[in-house]
Amino acid sequence: MRTLLERHELLLADDMGLGKTIQVIAALRILFHRQEIHRALIVAPSSLARQWKREASKWAPELRSSVVSAAADQRAALWRLPAHLKIVGYETLREDVSFRDTTPVTEQPWDVVVLDEASKIKNREASVSKAVKALPRDRRWALTGTPLETSIEDVRSILEFLVADPGKPAHVPFDAQELKGLLRTVQLRRTKEEVLTDLPAKTIETVELELQPAQRAAYDEAETAGIVQLKERGPKVSVSHVLEFIVRLKQICNRDPASGDSAKLDDIEQRLEVLASEGHRALLFTQFTDEVFGVTMIQSRLAKFSPIPFTGSMSPAEKSRAEEKFKHDDSSKLMVLSVRAGGFGLNLQSASYVFHLDRWWNPAVEDQAEGRAHRMGQQFPVTVFRYVCVNTIEERIERVLSERRALFADVIEDVSLDLASALTKEELFGLFGLHPPEKPGRREGVFQGMAGEEFEQWLGELLEAQGFRVQRTKRSRDGGIDLLATKTDLIGILNKLYVQCKNHSEPVGVQVIRELRGVVPDREAGTTPVVACPAGFTRDAIEFAGSNGVLLWSAEELEHIAHLGVNEN
């Protein structure tokens, strides 16, 4: 608390569960009473905006707080509404800063700008990062439990927010040791063991299981057939194909869709029988949400424990009701959560057992999910069960990731790694005893054999699979736009992607980006121009796109979208 009051630039990187939200609200309250500040802005994931308002009302009831969440033409009034605390989602802020000639957001300096889940700005070139850094500000605090994710660049972007002012160059070092020195001057990081000496212990147990007979037969058949298919693709095989194959195998490790056999769920059910009889409650995390392998299937399979689902497809109101029901309804012994939707922002201390049905690509996401139960207010030791099926892809991935998890440990502890970026192509293909093909040209495998219209069709179907409504424009009348993809986000804002598809053999140059930027209505809220080219982009194109709000999707980004979805934040 003293550090927050004294420091104008602070990266608060405490462990999850140490009450960063309450600490910040308490510090803001003191600063307001001292009349050292008069207006503060809190930028958070949209799903956490209402939670910040609830906590502010609880811990600083005399302060007026306002959530800026409404249709684009109504938000200017909300920005000008008198309030001590303004709370806004990252995407809303991006729209109101990046896509308007004038905006009340930047009319006068903020006394304090707080970034919750500051890893949202880890990509320096993303428009949301640039919007945040464009805010005129005095004090600036960044909150995160996992500041370094896949590269040192992730931390550099957060540091630029802390030490640089709008319109001025950011003097953030590139050298890892110099970066570590700068971090020492702005970072406060405390672990639960250091701060909460009376916090119950967390025990992690890796449960290694043999697949059920029908599961083993289905898995072996799928793995054998999949390796043959990868080999048959020859030079057209790509990382995308390998990642798709890994997901299919991981799904069978959860459950054989033909027989319904699941070694993991059989084990979990037996453990829950004992835990429920002793009055304990549990959280179960999975990366899948469907009725065959994910949350819906688990809810049905473990119905006797009255499980409460929590997924990204639920509205904010539904999520809030689910959280409150689990907190106050003791008859529900289990909450089943999508790790992406339920891994942050929830306080679920009534559960003292955590199950990871499948392992997420990013180990720090698992740590954060466990923090929903292992946090202040927990009265019992927390036990975590992480499931791995032996002699499967899960065991191989677990082995490789455990060897590489300490890659950046000399900069910040609790590093998280993303599988696709933590492992090289050689390592990914090596999981199946294969070697990646040499590039036959500038285009990546799966895209090389596609004609222009085939590439448009492929990308359109990919976006539709991610929940977008896709309209294909008529040729020669599109002004360079091939696809118009629309999707309403969780807070009701319509997002539009104007996509130009270029499956060229060489990187796209800046002229294409300029032309697309010229035809897209850049002052219309929620609109984003996109150029998709597997072969990549020239340096000039990348620089122009970064400063003009144009997304660039090369082969790497397209593969990422195919497996983890479009990053709308």
Span 265-297, pLDDT tens digits: 999 998 899 888 878 899 999 988 888 998 999
Give, as one character, the DSSP assignment of residue 211. P
Tell me if 389 is assigned to some domain: yes
Q: Supply the pLDDT for residue 264.
A: 94
List the domain range (segments joined by +) for residue 550.
Answer: 445-564
Q: Supply the pLDDT for residue 478.
A: 46
- Cα–Cα dist 358/335, whole Å: 16
Domain boundary among 170, 193, 216: 193
Residues 380 and 403 grouped into a single domain? yes
- Cα–Cα dist 97/101, whole Å: 9
Contact 458, 520 (CB under 8 A): no
CATH number at residue 481: 3.40.1350.10
Residues 449 and 360 grouped into a single domain? no
Tell me if 438 is assigned to some domain: no
CATH number at residue 186: 3.40.50.10810
Q: What is the pLDDT of residues 411-422, one digit of tens each?
A: 434 333 344 455
CB-based contacts of 363: which residues, under 8 Å, 6+ apart? 401, 405, 416, 417
Q: Is 567 helix (H, G, I), strand (E, B) or coil?
A: coil
Residues 460 and 406 grouped into a single domain? no
Strands 110-115 and 40-44: parallel
Q: Supply the pLDDT for residue 257.
A: 92
Low-confidence ranges of the chain (pLDDT < 50): 149-150, 405-420, 440-444, 477-478, 490-491, 523, 567-569
Number of neighbours of residue 328 by Cβ within 10 angstroms: 9
Tell me if 436 is assigned to some domain: no
Q: Supply the pLDDT for residue 415.
A: 31
Q: Supply the pLDDT for residue 387.
A: 92
Residues 208 and 155 grouped into a single domain? no
- Cα–Cα dist 558/304, whole Å: 41
Tell me if 437 is assigned to some domain: no
Residues 260 and 311 grouped into a single domain? yes
Residues 377 and 449 grouped into a single domain? no
- Cα–Cα dist 548/513, whole Å: 9
Tell me if 434 is assigned to some domain: no
Residues 363 and 216 grouped into a single domain? yes
Residues 272 and 217 grouped into a single domain? yes
Q: Supply the pLDDT for residue 278.
A: 78
> Exposed, middle or buried, 399 (CB in 10 Å: 0-12/13-18/19+)?
exposed
Rg (CA), the chain: 24
Residues 264 and 393 grouped into a single domain? yes
Tell me if 545 is assigned to some domain: yes
Domain boundary among 193, 217, 234: 193
Residues 104 and 229 grouped into a single domain? no
Q: Supply the pLDDT for residue 522.
A: 58
Domain boundary among 193, 222, 243: 193
CATH number at residue 272: 3.40.50.300
Residues 386 and 306 grouped into a single domain? yes
For the chain, how many structural domains are there in total?
3
Tell me if 482 is assigned to some domain: yes
Contact 95, 88 (CB under 8 A): no
- Cα–Cα dist 175/157, whole Å: 14
Q: Is 199 helix (H, G, I), strand (E, B) or coil?
A: coil
- Cα–Cα dist 83/11, whole Å: 25
- DSSP H helices in 71-212: 72-80, 90-98, 127-133, 152-163, 176-186, 192-195
Tell me if 66 is assigned to some domain: yes
Residues 311 and 189 grouped into a single domain? no
Q: Supply the pLDDT for residue 492.
A: 55
